[in-house]
Each structure stands twice: as C-alpha cells, then as structure tokens.
C-alpha cells in the first residue's frame, strides 16, 4: 500500500469518494454515470456502493475469489489498488479496463 | 399467421440475428448485440421466443444476456454464476440450453454447470458434476476447460448430457445430482499407445441428440465421429467414408434420427481447415453407414477456414434448413437439407455458434 493510506475515519460513516467508471462498463447499466460519488472508506466498500446503485455491477468489477477482476485496474492516488485498499475522504478513484483484456 | 425463421449467431464480437420468411431466400441481418462481448452461444426458448446469449468478456467476466423482443433490447445477469470463493473464477459462458420444464442451463469455463429457474435472472451451481471423482484429472483442451455441449432430454428434465474438452461426455439421470462418464468406445489418440480407450479424458468437440426420443446421440470428437444408441453408454465409430476423423460441429436432422451433418477438416495437425481448401458439408441418411459430400454453392479452392464446435444447426421447416458459420465470418445456409448452399452473410466476426428459431407470427 502506498503512503496515501488514510487513518481510520473518525466521523460517523465513510465520507464520499469520487469514482470514475469506464464507458464500456457504464453502458451495461442503463442510467449509470461515468462520475459517481460513493460513500466508502475502502475499495470493497466502494464496490458495495456501486452495486447498491446498479445491481450487478459488483460481478462486472470483481470475481468470486473475491478480487478485482484480472483485467480491471482500480487506481487510487496513482497506484493500483486492491479490495482492501483504504480510501481517504474525497479520494479520486479510477476504474479502468486494462489493455491486457482487449 | 406466417412462419418466420431466425438464425441466431454467436461471434467473437457480439450476437447477430438473421431473419427471413419461410422461403429463406432473403435474410435481414441485425446486430451486433450484447455490446460486442465475445459470445459463445445464442439460443432461443422455442415456446416463448426469448433469446439467450452466453459469453464472457476479459474485463467484466461471464454473463448470460436475454432478449424478449427478438434482439431489439437485451439485459444481462451473472447473479450466482460463480463458484465458491477461492476457486478459479468462472471466466465465460460456453453453452446454453432450455429444458423441458423451462429451466435454463449454462455450461461454463472452467467446466461446470449452472441452472436458472427464473429465466436467466439468477443462477445456481449444479455442483454434482464437479463432485465426480474424475474432476481433479480433467485437463483443458486447446480452447480451455470448457463445457461446450449441453444436451437436455426433451421429455425427462432429469436427464442431462454434457461434453467437456477434454474430459469427455458425462450424463446425469437425476437432474444433475450425480454423474457418470459415458465415453466407452471413443478414442484418445493423443494418449500413449495402448491407453487410447479411457473412461474419461476424451476430447469431445460436439455432442448432439437425434430426434425420436430413443436415446441416440452423435458426437464429433477430436479423434473420430461416433454414434451411440444407448444414451452414450457405448459409442460406435462412424468415420469410415469421411475425409478425416477431425472436425468440430455436428447437427442432426430435425425429424430423421438417421440424418446427421458433419464438417470434417483436414486434420488436427495440418492446419484444421477445409480439406484441400474445398468446403463441404458431409451428410449421412443412414446413421453414419455412408456419407455424401455436399459442395454446391460452397467455396471450392482457397477455403482455408474452419467451423467451430457449436457453429452448425438445422431448422424445423420442411425441407429442413441447414446453417453453418466459419471462423472467417461467413454464414452459409441451405434450404434443401444441405444439398446446396448460399453465403447469406459473408463478413461477420469469427462465428462461434449457430442456432435457429421458427416462430408463427
């Protein structure tokens, strides 16, 4: 994990992070947005939030390992993140389809 | 009421639908659907006309797509289409079939079987197949450890046959709870001499059931073509008279249990294309005792394409239509039981599957 990891949130409930989704993921979920604020203090919680907004999005981003899918990259503060990566309040999160997948 | 014929095409870049009236002379092509995902199989529920497309995307994983308006709009789901946590994840859907009781089945990679009783919205793993004692020894074929052939008994929803590359044919008679290998008589030429007839491990390429309800199956194997008259318990070679023992698809005549179509390729280590570059669909009307090559309308010379496992099908009209799609993207149709052919869509992406639907509208 990088030096950007936040300390545990001291307020009630996680603060929003800003998630950017790739177009070919958004197109699978009618009404989904490319730029989404989600209350989450970890990538796993962010995926929970996205799945609550658009049921089924979890299965597109994660496999049953459970892990982020092999050819999906989630970037936080310039580094590849895992489901366990913690998110600072207001973090910018990029969900990107890897070139290795197509 | 008029009959409409639909040819459902799975490709490496989405699903396509071709539509014609019953003359089958003019085809309208629609697609690509399913957001151009690699699509391994497109099938229809013949009663409702609902279309299902199974595939998988390297980024987003496996899914079954569904259309209740003949392809105009699609939804997708993979809820429950997953193994237990910690196992190798499901990569892609390879085969779909609609059962006599309305259940929808999906065969996946790595090989396993799932069932949906709510029209593809949610899925349950039929784990009995993976509990077969041979499971630790299953080896992938060239396309992976794929469950590509899925045969459901038209009358008894408890009877299921699957073909897995390269684990062989397995059957269940209790709705998937328990399974037995059914490969006796099929060869594994890739094993050491003297070890070529195995209980399991054969490289089945396509498994189909003859009409008539008498338990007749045919299979195109990596190593030969076979007929079984006892539900797969024993197999008899029917490759004599064919130009090679290697090919991928098989399709049965819709009414004649002795009628079968095959597309032999030149061999598994010779490029796997049409023998001598001349395309032919081979037909038997006597359950494999004799074969005739049908070439009229097919490319003769320079035909270095192949036809994949699930890429040939018949329709239910009289005379029967026969259809196949090539890895080079050509879709060919015959309206005279395979005797003569037309290319009805020359430039599709690599075709993975062909199925048909006939509706009264």
Instruction: Judge whether A52 lies within some domain.
Output: yes
Size of interface A-B (CB pairs under 8 A): 56
- Token code pair at residue A86: 């913690």
Checking phi first, is residue B72 left (phi over 0); if not, alpha (psi -120 to 50) or beta? Answer: alpha
Instruction: Judge whether B111 lies within some domain.
Output: yes
Gap between the Cα atoms of B295 and B281, Å rounded: 7
If you measure CA to CA, which chain A residue comes closest to B34? A28
Gap between the Cα atoms of B320 and B326, Å rounded: 20
Q: Which helix (H) or strand (E) holds B240?
A: none
User: Where are the strands (E) in A1-102, listed by range?
Assistant: 16-20, 35-39, 62-63, 67-68, 72-76, 79-80, 92-97
What is the Rg, in whole angstroms, of the alpha carbon atoms belonging to chain B?
A: 19
Q: Is the pTM of this model over 0.90?
A: yes
Of the candidate ranges A5-9, B88-92, B308-312, the one whose mean pLDDT is the lowest: A5-9
Gap between the Cα atoms of B19 and B5, Å rounded: 6
Q: Quote the number of domains for chain A.
A: 1
Interface of B with A (CB under 8 A): 35, 57-61, 63, 76-79, 81-87, 89-90
What does the pLDDT look like over B107-155, one tens digit per residue? 999 999 999 999 999 999 999 999 999 999 999 998 999 999 999 999 9
Gap between the Cα atoms of B262 and B267, Å rounded: 14
Instruction: Judge whether B359 lies within some domain.
Output: no
What are the backbone angles phi and psi of residue B151, rounded to the nearest 5°?
A: -120, 125
pLDDT at residue A13, as a whole number: 81
Instruction: Judge whether B284 lies within some domain.
Output: yes
Q: Is B85 in Cβ contact with A65 (below 8 Å)?
A: yes
Instruction: Judge whether B311 lies within some domain.
Output: no
pLDDT at residue B361, as a whole number: 84
Instruction: Judge whether B314 lies within some domain.
Output: no
pLDDT at residue A12, as a whole number: 65
Gap between the Cα atoms of B353 and A42, Å rounded: 42
Task: Work out whether strand B351-360 and strand B14-21 pair parallel, antiparallel, or are unpaired.
Answer: unpaired
Instruction: Judge whether A18 lies within some domain.
Output: no
B242-258 average pLDDT score: 98
- Structural domain boundaries, residue A92: 34-101
Q: Quote the number of domains for chain B.
A: 1
Q: Give the rounded percent of residues in chain B with a pLDDT score beyond 70.
A: 100
Question: Is A88 a residue whose pLDDT tops 70?
Answer: yes
All residues of chain A having their beta carbon less than 8 Å from the beta carbon of residue B63 are 59
CA angle B54, B164, B357 (to 5 degrees): 40
**In this structure, which long-range contacts are made by residues A24-32, counting pairs with CB atoms below 8 Å and at least 24 apart in sequence?**
A24/A97, A24/B35, A24/B59, A25/A57, A25/A60, A25/A61, A25/A95, A25/A97, A25/B59, A25/B60, A27/B35, A28/A56, A28/A60, A28/B35, A28/B60, A28/B76, A29/A54, A29/A56, A29/A57, A32/A57
Can you give the CATH number for the domain in which B74 is found? 2.130.10.10
- The SS3 assignment for B107 reads strand
Burial environment of residue A70 by CB neighbours within 10 A (0 to 12, 13 to 18, 19 or more): middle
A83-99 average pLDDT score: 96
Instruction: Judge whether B116 lies within some domain.
Output: yes
What does the pLDDT look like over A3-46, one tens digit per residue? 344 444 445 688 999 999 999 999 999 999 999 999 999 999 99
Question: Is B254 a residue whose pLDDT tops 70?
Answer: yes
Instruction: Judge whether B209 lies within some domain.
Output: yes
Find all residues with CB under 8 Å of B222, minimum gap 6, and list them.
Answer: B141, B165, B166, B189, B190, B202, B203, B204, B205, B246, B268
Give which of A63, A69, A95 to mutate to test B binding, by max B Cβ within 10 Å.
Answer: A63
Give which of A44, A60, A64 to mutate to test B binding, by max B Cβ within 10 Å.
Answer: A64
Min Cα–Cα distance to chain A from B306, Å: 23
What does the pLDDT look like over B35-50, one tens digit per residue? 999 999 999 999 999 9
- Structural domain boundaries, residue B152: 12-301
Give which of B61, B78, B84 to mutate to test A binding, by max A Cβ within 10 Å.
Answer: B61
All residues of chain B having their beta carbon less than 8 Å from the beta carbon of residue A61 are 60
All residues of chain B having their beta carbon less than 8 Å from the beta carbon of residue A102 are 57-59
Instruction: Judge whether A59 lies within some domain.
Output: yes
pLDDT at residue B89, as a whole number: 95
- Token code pair at residue B101: 């009781």
pLDDT at residue B158, as a whole number: 96
Can you give the CATH number for the domain in which A92 is found? 3.10.20.30
Find all residues with CB under 8 Å of B270, minimum gap 6, and list them.
Answer: none
Mean pLDDT of chain A: 89
* B238 vs A102 pLDDT, higher one: B238
* B190 vs B324 pLDDT, higher one: B324
Question: Is A57 a residue whose pLDDT tops 60?
Answer: yes
All residues of chain A having their beta carbon less than 8 Å from the beta carbon of residue B59 are 24-25, 60, 69, 71-72, 97-98, 101-102
pLDDT at residue A46, as a whole number: 98
């Amino acid at each position: 994990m990088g030096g950007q990891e936040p300390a545990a949130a001291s307020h009630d409930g996680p603060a929003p992070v800003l998630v950017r989704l790739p177009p070919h993921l958004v197109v699978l979920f009618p009404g989904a947005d490319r730029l989404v604020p989600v209350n989450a203090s970890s990538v796993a919680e962010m995926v929970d939030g996205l799945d609550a907004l658009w049921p089924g999005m979890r299965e597109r981003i994660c496999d049953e390992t459970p892990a982020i899918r092999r050819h999906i990259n989630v970037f936080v503060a310039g580094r590849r993140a895992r489901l366990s990566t913690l998110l600072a309040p207001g973090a910018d999160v990029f969900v990107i389809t890897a070139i290795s997948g197509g | 009421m008029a009959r409409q014929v639909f040819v459902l095409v799975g490709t490496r870049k989405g699903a396509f639908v071709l539509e014609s009236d019953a003359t089958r002379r003019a085809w309208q092509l629609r697609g690509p659907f399913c957001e151009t995902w690699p699509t391994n199989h497109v099938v229809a529920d013949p009663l409702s006309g609902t279309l299902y497309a199974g595939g998988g995307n390297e980024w987003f994983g496996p899914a079954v797509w569904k259309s209740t308006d003949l392809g105009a709009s699609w939804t997708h789901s993979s809820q429950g289409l997953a193994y237990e946590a910690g196992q190798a994840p499901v990569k892609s859907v390879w085969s779909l079939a609609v059962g006599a009781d309305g259940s929808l089945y999906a065969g996946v990679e790595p090989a396993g079987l799932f069932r949906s009783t709510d029209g593809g919205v949610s899925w349950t793993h039929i784990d009995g197949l993976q509990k077969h004692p041979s499971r630790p020894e299953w080896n992938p074929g060239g396309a992976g450890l794929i469950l590509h052939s899925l045969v459901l008994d038209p009358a008894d929803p408890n009877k299921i046959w699957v073909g897995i590359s390269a684990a062989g044919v397995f059957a269940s008679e209790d709705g998937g709870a328990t399974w037995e290998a059914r490969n006796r008589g099929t060869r594994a030429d890739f094993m050491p001499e003297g070890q070529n007839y195995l209980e399991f491990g054969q490289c089945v390429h396509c498994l189909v059931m003859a009409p008539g309800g008498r338990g007749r199956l045919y299979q195109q194997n990596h190593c030969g073509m076979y007929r079984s008259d006892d539900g797969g318990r024993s197999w008899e070679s029917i490759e004599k008279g064919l130009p090679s023992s290697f090919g991928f698809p098989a399709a049965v005549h819709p009414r004649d249990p002795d009628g079968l179509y095959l597309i032999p390729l030149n061999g598994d280590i010779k490029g796997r294309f049409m023998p001598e570059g001349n395309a032919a669909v081979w037909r038997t009307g006597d359950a494999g005792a004799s074969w005739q090559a049908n070439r009229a309308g097919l490319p003769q010379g320079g035909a270095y394409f192949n036809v994949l496992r699930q890429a040939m099908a018949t329709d239910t009209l009289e005379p029967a239509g026969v259809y196949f799609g090539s890895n080079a993207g050509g879709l060919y149709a015959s309206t005279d039981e395979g005797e003569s052919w037309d290319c009805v869509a020359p430039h599709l992406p690599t075709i993975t599957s062909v199925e048909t639907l006939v509706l009264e509208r």
